[in-house]
Amino acid sequence: MSLLTKAGGVVSLSIFVALVAYLHRSYNDKILNDRLDSVLRGLLRAEKKVGFETRTRVAVGFGACVDGFVNATDIFHNLGFIPPDIPEHYSVIRDQDELGKVFSYFFRHGAAGERYIENRTLFESIVNEARRHSFTRWAVGGNAPVMAQRFAKEGCEVMLGAKVSPHLAGLLGSNIKIAGDTIDDEDIHIALEYATGTSWGNFKSPRANRFFIHSDQFNPYIDSLELFSQAAASFSPQLLVVGGLQMMDSFPFKPGVRKERLQKLGEVLASTSKKTMIHFEMASFSEEALLQDLVEHVIPYSDSLGMNEQELPNLYSALMNGTATLISDAYPRIAHVLDQMRAVYKILGQTSEKNNRRKLTRLHVHTLAYQAIITTSGSPWKNTMSAAAKASLTANRHVCGSNFIHLEKARLIIDESFAASQAHGSRRISFENNRPVSCWKEGNYEFCVAPVLVCTQVFQTAGGGDNVSSAGLAVQI
Ligand SMILES: *[C@@H]1O[C@H](CO)[C@@H](O)[C@H](O)[C@H]1NC(C)=O
Ligand SMILES: *[C@@H]1O[C@H](CO)[C@@H](O)[C@H](O)[C@H]1NC(C)=O
Ligand SMILES: *[C@@H]1O[C@H](CO)[C@@H](O)[C@H](O)[C@H]1NC(C)=O
Ligand SMILES: *[C@@H]1O[C@H](CO)[C@@H](O)[C@H](O)[C@H]1NC(C)=O
């Protein structure tokens, strides 16, 4: 009898606990949803604040390719590739063993990467496997074409510096002018995609991302440069964007060839009219010699830089001591990122303007969780607050594959406030849900930070940085 009562008591207590837990959770859910909803509305308001100056002329270089998107673990399985025991980094991939090791090196950190495969037999076997499957998505690839398409979508007049095949020209659409020859063959890139928590052998991905492989023959030489520079001079763009240079990374050039090409690019940038703003979009660079060439021949001619959370520490250490930082935290603290941005801005903001060099006046870092932009006060860059909002919304739209933002597919992964710096005693800045973009002044520049409504149902990750960066730039000209 007493046992029964006790049991009954336990049952009603557990029902009561479950009910309280349920009410508490739905109350929490409601708070979270309200927060998401007001952040979304705030971002949309900030985005709408600027009317577009249509017909802004933008020239974008370099290179183009066709991207094939495949499921990494599926294609490895089909090809009979087995996961390695220990990941290892190779700059150039020669066989499937090395591919497995380099892939897992990036995969276990969920870091985006891109490597050249020297072995064409191996590369072609992967391309053929991708072609056999109807689920492989094929799209225009390369940073420059993705950025060009984004600018065209924003109503800009766009010129692209690339040699393209008729197939690629068809995919690009007619509203983008091509400054480069027509070629028959085309460079193909394969994006090995994976979801958050995917397992391969002993490894598990902490976030969704992709690893690109290619065996390019054209793009590493930025071979459209000469035609592009002629065409750009008469196009007189307000903005010239340089991207796609990671195709030169770890590519087996003959000695001196890469440096010579980058010197040539530097000369083209130096001779560009000061009325044209120059933006350089960073990428995953692993070769220290290449990083140094960029620091010498490209970065000093750039008014603006764009990069992700992996590329910022890489540039930072390249500037500090000439080394490359291949992998860093996928979820860096805001204070840490802001401090590195300040350091990079400070160094490059002091570039001497001799020989047509330019001081850095804009720096955009796009991370999974937030967007951060620095612009120099009084510089030609406008609307930094709207640019951060637009970049943030574009991140969700791109990854979810939908222009309309569904709150049930979005999540905020940042706290409600953040420290402005890691320095002792620095102030905290709160995200206001109604005005989600936080902007403040420091010295001669303004900082704006916008939270990203992180997409939880991933449709695509590749090309995200290019879309996000271009969307931000489009409202700042
Ligand atoms: C290139 O790849 C093929 C196919 O995976 C392999 O059989 C061959 O041994 C590789 N060549 C070299 C030089 O590693
Ligand atoms: C890849 O395929 C595996 C097994 O079929 C599946 O579990 C996984 O969700 C797929 N990943 C992506 C990113 O589609
Ligand atoms: C170079 O600088 C980076 C960033 O400060 C640091 O993490 C790295 O350890 C340094 N490397 C060397 C060799 O000094
Ligand atoms: C990003 O660019 C790609 C290629 O142009 C396009 O397919 C995709 O829809 C773009 N994303 C957004 C949000 O516009």
Report the chain's mean pLDDT, rounded to a whole number: 90
| pLDDT confidence band for 388 (50 / 70 / 90) | very high
Across 296-315, average pLDDT = 95
Across 368-383, average pLDDT = 96
Predicted confidence at residue 7, as pLDDT, reads 44
| pLDDT confidence band for 275 (50 / 70 / 90) | very high
State whether residue 56 is helix, strand or coil: coil
Q: For residue 404, tell me if it sits in a domain.
A: yes
Predicted confidence at residue 394, as pLDDT, reads 96
Cα dist from 71 to 20, 76, 120, 137, 460, whole Å: 42, 9, 21, 10, 11
State in Å: Cα 246 to ligand 3 middle: 22
Q: Who's near 469: CB < 8 A, 6+ residues apart?
A: 147, 279, 281, 306, 364, 366, 391
Place of tokens 């409504």: 453
Q: Is the pLDDT of residue 2 over 50?
A: no
| pLDDT confidence band for 24 (50 / 70 / 90) | low
| pLDDT confidence band for 161 (50 / 70 / 90) | very high
State in Å: Cα 352 to ligand 3 middle: 25
Ligand nearest, relative to CA of residue 336: 3
Predicted confidence at residue 21, as pLDDT, reads 61
Q: For residue 435, tell me if it sits in a domain.
A: yes
| pLDDT confidence band for 86 (50 / 70 / 90) | very high
Q: For residue 403, tell me if it sits in a domain.
A: yes
State in Å: Cα 297 to ligand 3 middle: 22
Asked whether the bond before 404 is cis by omega within 30 degrees of 0, the reply is no
Across 445-452, average pLDDT = 97
Of 100, 102, 108, the residue nearest 82 (C-alpha)? 100
Q: For residue 352, tell me if it sits in a domain.
A: yes
Of 125, 167, 171, the residue nearest 145 (C-alpha)? 171
Cα dist from 69 to 5, 72, 114, 348, 359, whole Å: 62, 9, 14, 36, 38
Q: Is the CB of 128 under 6 A from ligand 1?
A: no
State in Å: Cα 96 to ligand 1 middle: 7
| pLDDT confidence band for 141 (50 / 70 / 90) | confident
Predicted confidence at residue 17, as pLDDT, reads 59
Strand bridging mode 370-376 / 362-366: antiparallel
Q: For residue 21, tell me if it sits in a domain.
A: no
Across 280-287, average pLDDT = 91
Q: For residue 2, tell me if it sits in a domain.
A: no
**Highest-confidence segment of 63-67, 199-203, 332-336:** 199-203
**Is pLDDT larger for residue 330 or for residue 412?**
412
> Alpha helices, DSSP H only, in 49-95?
72-79
Per the structure, how many domains does the chain have? 1
Q: Is the pLDDT of residue 72 over 90?
A: yes
State in Å: Cα 187 to ligand 1 middle: 20
Strand ranges for 179-319 from DSSP E: 188-194, 199-200, 203-204, 209-214, 239-242, 277-281, 304-308
Q: Is the CB of 94 under 6 A from ligand 1?
A: yes
Across 410-417, average pLDDT = 91
Residues 34-54 have pLDDT tens digits of: 889 999 999 999 999 887 666
Q: Report d(CA 477, CA 471) in Å as an integer.
A: 11
Q: For residue 204, tell me if it sits in a domain.
A: yes
Q: Is the pLDDT of residue 419 over 50?
A: yes
CATH code, 335: 3.40.1190.20
Residue 463 · residue 146 · CB < 8 Å: yes
Angle at CA of residue 247, ends 243 and 251, nearest 5° = 150
Q: What is the reported pTM?
A: 0.85
Predicted confidence at residue 142, as pLDDT, reads 85
Identity (one letter) of the amino acid at 194? Y
Predicted confidence at residue 5, as pLDDT, reads 40
Closest ligand 3 atom to Cα of 313: 4
Q: Report d(CA 412, CA 134) in Å as an integer.
A: 35
Ligand nearest, relative to CA of residue 94: 1
Burial class (CB in 10 A: 0-12, 13-18, 19+), 312: buried
DSSP summary character for residue 128? H
Q: Report d(CA 144, CA 61) in Å as an integer.
A: 5
Q: Is the pLDDT of residue 3 over 50?
A: no
Ligand nearest, relative to CA of residue 198: 2
Predicted confidence at residue 375, as pLDDT, reads 98
Predicted confidence at residue 26, as pLDDT, reads 65
Domain interval for residue 399: 57-474
Calculate what percentage of the chain has a pLDDT beyond 90: 69
Q: For residue 15, tell me if it sits in a domain.
A: no
Closest ligand 2 atom to Cα of 458: 13
Across 102-113, average pLDDT = 93
Q: Report d(CA 45, CA 385) in Å as an integer.
A: 11
Write out residues with Cβ below 6 Å of ligand 3.
316-317, 320-321, 323
Across 308-314, average pLDDT = 93
